Amino acid sequence: MPVIYLDNNATTRVAPEVVDAMIPFLKDYYGNPSSMHTFGGMVGRHIDAAREKIAALINASPDEIIFTSCGTESDSTAVRAAIESSPQKKHIMTSRVEHPAIKNLFEHLAKTGYRVTWVPVDREGRLDVEYLKNHLTDDTALVSLMWANNETGVIFPIEAISSVLKDRGIVFHTDAVQAAGKVPVDVKEAGVDLLSLSGHKIHAPKGIAALYVRKGTKFSPFMIGGHQERGRRGGTENVASIVGLGVASEMAMHHLSDINGRVRAMRDKLEDGILKNIPNSMRNGCKEPRLPNTSSVSFEFVEGESILLMMDEFGICASSGSACTSGSLEPSHVLRAMGVPFTAAHGSIRFSLSAYNIESDVDMVVEKLPPIIKRLRELSPFWKNAACKIQ
């Protein structure tokens, strides 16, 4: 059975071009870039080339890019560097809808003496920028906000926020793991000090990521060790994956128009098809500004895990914000922060596309999903009562 992969915010297929570029560094060029001999040293030049490509994707200088092992390491490095650079300040700020890489880190910092302001979002997932403005203090060390939300795709106004923070001595970090490669990300226009991005969301392998550190931003390493990354991240370079990330970044730049054209049109077709054909369904998050590949939809009176497993029978891969799929008993903190009622949060499904999707993928979902929801609703004790009310 062919796999219809619509879970690209979870992870993406490694591009064949990326794999091809990596193989020589796994098979033949195994030298250590720190070595003095030519065999090792030549590997270093490929790392430089990759660094340039990643810098180009976000309009940074190559020396502003640090390679890390994952988006979470980039986030942790950024946040810890920011608070260590102004140890006297004890207030940090983030949103209520962050990825666990930031959410759980901030919850941890809250226990170690930091005052955390959690900026709320509205029913459509938009950030309350006024709330953020009103809660900035002279004690604020760091503001960390995601560029785009992994569950809903809602994009935060990063540029507008950076102008609010400007000249206040507050470090601004953005987790752009979901945004990079899907919408134009320009660190200069955005005015951020630190930016995280991750390889496996843009068709590079898992285990490689990058952190942008604006020139002039105070920095202290999270991984302390050798002189790699100019002393900003110790540890022998993951050469093959770095090369892969370079190729993936280059491809992401070329694919940007495709993602915002063809893929966006497929996403809209999918979303419109679902909302039109399935009663009591709703989009989670505002229509715009939103990632062109993401659609979060809730189906009332049914539970997400059941929907996922029934779609799985047709090879359709997606995600859910329901409690049962998360391993906890409570549904997604993102949907709850938006005020999505339990009745809908338990039945939320996220579809996320990539450049590898084709029209027939979304057609398949639009064809298969309505009977799945209908079937699960017939099983549900709540549906009959609700249906009576609706008619």
- Taking the complex as a whole, the smallest distance from the CB of residue 91 to other proteins amounts, in Å, to 8
- Both tokens assigned to 56: 């180009």
x/- binding map, residues 105-134, to other proteins, per CB under 8 A?
--x--xx--xxxxx----------------
Q: Interaction with other proteins in 300-319: which residues (CB under 8 A)?
A: 301-306, 309-310, 313
Contacts of 45 (CB under 8 A, 6+ apart): none
- Both tokens assigned to 301: 């009176």
Question: Cβ closer to other proteins: 286 or 324?
Answer: 324
- Taking the complex as a whole, the smallest distance from the CB of residue 53 to other proteins amounts, in Å, to 35
- Taking the complex as a whole, the smallest distance from the CB of residue 87 to other proteins amounts, in Å, to 18
How far apart are alpha carbons 379 and 302 in whole angstroms? 9
Residue choice 166, 225, 231, 342 for contact with other proteins (CB under 8 A): 342
- Taking the complex as a whole, the smallest distance from the CB of residue 331 to other proteins amounts, in Å, to 7
Residue choice 80, 96, 269, 283 for contact with other proteins (CB under 8 A): 96
Can residue 51 be called a binding residue for other proteins (CB under 8 A)?
no
Question: Cβ closer to other proteins: 69 or 150?
Answer: 150
How far apart are alpha carbons 118 and 70 in whole angstroms? 24
Cα distances from 329 to residues 121, 128, 225, in angstroms, run 23, 28, 40
- Taking the complex as a whole, the smallest distance from the CB of residue 56 to other proteins amounts, in Å, to 38
Contacts of 207 (CB under 8 A, 6+ apart): 69, 70, 199, 200, 238, 241
Can residue 200 be called a binding residue for other proteins (CB under 8 A)?
no
Residue choice 80, 135, 262, 283 for contact with other proteins (CB under 8 A): 135
Q: Interaction with other proteins in 364-383: which residues (CB under 8 A)?
A: 378-382
Determine how β-strand 316-317 pairs with β-strand 294-299.
Answer: unpaired
Q: Is 44 exposed, middle or buried (0-12, 13-18, 19+ CB in 10 A)?
A: middle
Question: Cβ closer to other proteins: 36 or 329?
Answer: 329
- Taking the complex as a whole, the smallest distance from the CB of residue 70 to other proteins amounts, in Å, to 21
Which residues does the annotation mark as catalytic? 324
What number of chain residues touch other proteins (CB under 8 A)?
A: 41
Question: Cβ closer to other proteins: 176 or 338?
Answer: 338
Question: Cβ closer to other proteins: 74 or 325?
Answer: 325
Question: Cβ closer to other proteins: 91 or 255?
Answer: 91
First to last CA, the chain: 39
Q: Interaction with other proteins in 73-92: which residues (CB under 8 A)?
A: 91
Question: Cβ closer to other proteins: 42 or 110?
Answer: 110
- Taking the complex as a whole, the smallest distance from the CB of residue 114 to other proteins amounts, in Å, to 7
Q: Would you tell me which residues interact with other proteins (CB under 8 A)?
A: 91, 96, 107, 110-111, 114-118, 135, 301-306, 309-310, 313, 322-325, 327-331, 333, 336-337, 342-343, 346, 378-382, 384
